[in-house]
Structure 1
Amino acid sequence: EKKQLDFVGNLSHEIKTPITAITGFSETLLDGALDDKEVSKQFIEIIHDESTKLSNLVDDMITISRLNEHGNLNIELVNIFKLVKDTLQLFSHEIEKKRLNIRIEIDEELSLYCDKLKLKHIITNLIQNAIRYNLENGEIKIKVQNDKKNEWVFVISDTGIGISDEDKERIFERFYRVDKSHSKTVGGTGLGLAVVKESVDALSGRIKVKSQINKGTTFYVILPRFKAR
């Protein structure tokens, strides 16, 4: 019950912040600021940024609510290399901006049976975090450990700000942020790792994290080998 109350309180705060900004700046524009081209452009950019944050928050909430729905997994053959490459392409601008070096150590022909949508949620959010919390000229390494009979492991490492031992216990909680001040700069909804954890749970998998402050973080997603249905 306490977790539910905390969740509602956090969600209300996360939604109210961008709405307050959108309302305030749009009212200022309506009151006459539109006549000043420089100021109006600045305000419209802020409104756009805040509405994007709100949209991302709603998208993540929809994802979480769907993950919690009971239902059968949609198992299909997934090319892991292609899924990773396609996901990286979505963030090409951010990767280029930070001048990140991306290393993919996955066989281009590697295909495994899994629920593609849930696996995509996992890979997308982990890649986004690896970019978001990395340092300029940093590195992201992505590989698959595929040598076990009943499991396979998706591994992603970054050279970013790292996570403290204290924070490791809570990073998968909804809206929990490791570095409050840094999170304001890099953005994010605070739901990414919650989506990852709930997707992993839905696949009956496990997730582990190793990290050192200012040296980087590695996530290990251990998933069962599904069979064709």
Structure 2
Amino acid sequence: MRIKIKNLFTRYSITGRLTILYTTFTFALLLIVNIILFKVITSNLEKEDSQFLRNKINVIRVILQKDDTRKGLEEEIIWEGYALQFTRYFARLIDGKGNIIIETPHMAKLLKPSFFPPPHKNKPDELSKKIKNNSGQTYLLMSAYSDVNKWNKSTKVIQVALDTTYEENIIKNYGEIIILILIGGLIFAGLIGVYIAKKGMEPLKNITEATGNITSSRLNQRIGSMNWPKELTILAKAFDEMLNRLEDSFNRLSQFSADIAHELRTPINNLMGEAEVALSKERSAVDYKRVLESNLEEGQRISVLIESLLFLARAENSEIKLEKTEFNAKIEIEKIIEFYQSSAEEKNIKFIFYGNVNVTADPVLFSRAIINLISNSIKYCKENGEVKILLKQTENNSAEIKIIDNGIGIASEHISKVFDRFYQVDVSRANSIKGTGLGLSIVKSIMELHNGTIDIHSEINKGTSIKLIFPA
């Protein structure tokens, strides 16, 4: 049952829910207040009526004690009821044998002695009850002994009554007024609830309109700078942070698309240009061979570029499964240096090792990362330069590999961007030294796959230091 009610409630809009909650609580508050007032008024009236009859009983007792004559009783019992303008009061005095000594005129027709509760010795003044006759009139009846200290055959019984019909009608009318107040309050609370809910939801409507104006061409817009309520400020900030990420991703995607188009266009144009030149007239076998070798080189460059992009895409989508093993990092790096030895000898570059360490990593990806770094060091190192390779184990048993060259270096303003795809520090260097611009991006992706870190420090004309840390 609770689930059904909950599901039914969740179908309503937030405005509807707020209206229902506000109306319900307002109605409950009105109901509680009016019930309390009704109880208080009813209780006070009953207490006043009971106290009035007790006072009359005490007056009759005093008359009986001081002046046991019929004159005093007639003044109190017969004439007192007529003297009260708005209160119909009745009194009766009965002897020990049950005979009526004196009573208010017409009392015998309205209220017979048997209607009254019998007096009680232990509670002589508190026995009362209400009755309603055939005419619809309501009476409060009370009985008591004339003498509270002794009870014998001569002890008289005092019966008093009060017509409470008027008060009962007042209470009934008040109850009807309460019902009307509750119905009116419910309607009024519902209308006010709708108004308050709509006013309260206006900021949410405004923030919805603001977000609706943001398109792919307007991702630079932000909504957090507007004046929002405190509750929506957090939402606006979170939305702006999401926009920052979307804008960054969108810019990267746009830049990536432009870069890949540019990177592919150059070798394709070279292929087409050389083919057109070769076909423009008859060439010798040597010329055709040279064109084919050039085309093969450009084809290899395109293949490397595509393979690198595919690797980065798989790494970002977590499609690469690591096959980690523990191996000696120095031995693996020496194999890579041996492969690049001829390229290093052309520039008379020396490799210097310091230390040794075992690393837990995927051997293939480890080799790929080191190949990219060694290749860069050779490309950008000066003639007669040197490349230092520092290997050590950190305090938390991670493997630290640092590759330091004394090459041309990188300016500080470019350091934060060297891991971006296709990023070139400057055009002149990019043209003089061929590369895909993806090497450091691949290294960073490999380190992220291993939950490791990569740091770079560089100074112009002093060289570059790159540190890799593979966790244990």
TM over 0.5: yes
Q: Per the alignment, in what secondary structure is the counterpart of residue 430 of structure 2?
A: helix
Where do 1:190-229 residues align within 5 Å?
190-225=437-472
Structure 2 match to 1:169? 416
State the identity %: 30
CA contact (8 A) 2:359 2:399 kept: no
**Inter-partner Cα distance in structure 1 for 2:409 and 2:340:** 21
Task: Tell me which residue corresponds to 1:146.
Answer: 393
User: 2: CA distance between counterparts of 1:89 and 1:64?
Assistant: 27
- Residue 324 of structure 2 is aligned with which of 34, 55, 75? 75
Residue number in structure 2 paired with 1:20: 269
Change (3 A) 1:18 1:36: same
> d(CA) in 1 for partners of 2:298 and 2:282?
19
Return the alpha-carbon distance in structure 1 between the equivalents of residues 255 and 354 of structure 2.
40
Which residue matches 1:54? Answer: 302
For the residue of structure 1 that corresponds to 2:283, the secondary structure is helix
| Structure 2 Cα separation of the partners of residues 174 and 10 of structure 1 | 8
Which amino acid letter does the alignment assign opposite residue 187 of structure 1? Answer: K
Partners of 1:145 and 1:79 lie apart in 2 by: 11
- Separation (CA, whole Å) in 2 of partners of 1:104 and 1:138: 15
Partner of 2:348: 99
User: Which blocks of at least 5 consecutive residues in structure 1 are unaligned?
Assistant: none
- Give the one of 236, 259, 284 matched to 1:10: 259
Q: Which has the higher helix share?
A: 2
Whole-angstrom CA distance in 2 between matches of 1:174 and 1:147:
30
Q: Which runs of 5+ in 2 are unaligned?
A: 1-249
2:193 paired residue number: none
Amino acid at match of 2:312: I
Q: Tell me the residue number matched to 2:336.
A: 87
Paired with 1:36 and 1:116, the residues of 2 have a C-alpha distance of 44
Aligned partners of 1:92, 1:55: CA distance in 2, in Å?
24
Q: CA deviation at 1:41?
A: 5.2
Distance in structure 2 (CA, Å) of the matches to 1:52 and 1:85:
26
CA apart distance, 1:86: 1.3
Q: Which range moved further: 208-217 or 179-188?
A: 179-188
Q: Which moved more, 1:142-151 or 1:166-175?
A: 142-151
CA distance in 1, matches of 2:312, 2:331: 25
Aligned partner of 1:32: which letter? K
Output aligned runs, 1:174-189, within 5 Å.
174-189=421-436
Deviation of 1:43 (Å)? 3.7
> How many aligned positions are there?
222
1:36: Cα distance to partner? 7.7
Q: Verify: 1:29 aligned to 2:268, yes or no.
A: no
- Contact between 1:33 and 1:40, CA under 8 Å: does it hold in 2? no
Deviations 1:155-192 (A, max 9, x none): 00001010111000100000001132112122110000
In structure 2, how many angstroms separate the alpha carbons of the residues matched to 1:4 and 1:33? 45
Who is 2:381 aligned against? 134
Deviates more, 1:40-49 or 1:154-163: 40-49
Over alpha carbons, which structure has the higher Rg? Answer: 2
TM-score, normalised on structure 2? 0.45
CA contact (8 A) 2:333 2:370 kept: yes
Distance 1:33 1:219, change over 3 A: farther
Q: How far apart are 1:114 and its partner, in Å?
A: 1.4
Kindly state the Cα deviation for residue 104 of structure 1 after the two structures are TM-superposed. Answer: 1.7
Distance in 1 (alpha carbons) for counterparts of 2:276 and 2:282: 9
Secondary structure of 1:214 counterpart: coil
Residue 270 of structure 2 aligns to a residue whose secondary structure is helix
Per the normalisation by structure 1, the TM-score is 0.89
1:34 aligned counterpart, secondary structure: coil
Q: What do residues 70-114 of structure 1 show as CA deviations (whole Å, max 9, x unaligned)?
A: 25431112221121011112212211111101112243xx43221
* Distance in 2 (alpha carbons) for counterparts of 1:196 and 1:147: 21
Q: Which runs of structure 2 are paired with 1:107-118 in the superposition (5 Å)? A: 107=356, 110-118=357-365
Q: Given the alignment of the two structures, is residue 63 of structure 1 paired with residue 311 of structure 2, yes or no?
A: yes
Q: CA deviation at 1:18?
A: 0.2
Separation (CA, whole Å) in 2 of partners of 1:147 and 1:17: 45
CA distance in structure 2 between the aligned counterparts of 1:216 and 1:106, rounded to whole angstroms: 21
Task: Give the root-mean-square deviation of aligned CA atoms.
Answer: 1.8
Letter in 2 for 1:223: F
Question: What is the distance in 1 between the residues matched to 2:342 and 2:359?
Answer: 29
Q: 1:166 is paired with a residue of what secondary structure?
A: helix
Contact 2:360–2:471 (CA<8 Å) still a contact in 1?
no
Contact 2:330 2:391 in 1 (8 A): no
* Higher mean C-alpha displacement, 48-57 vs 22-31: 48-57
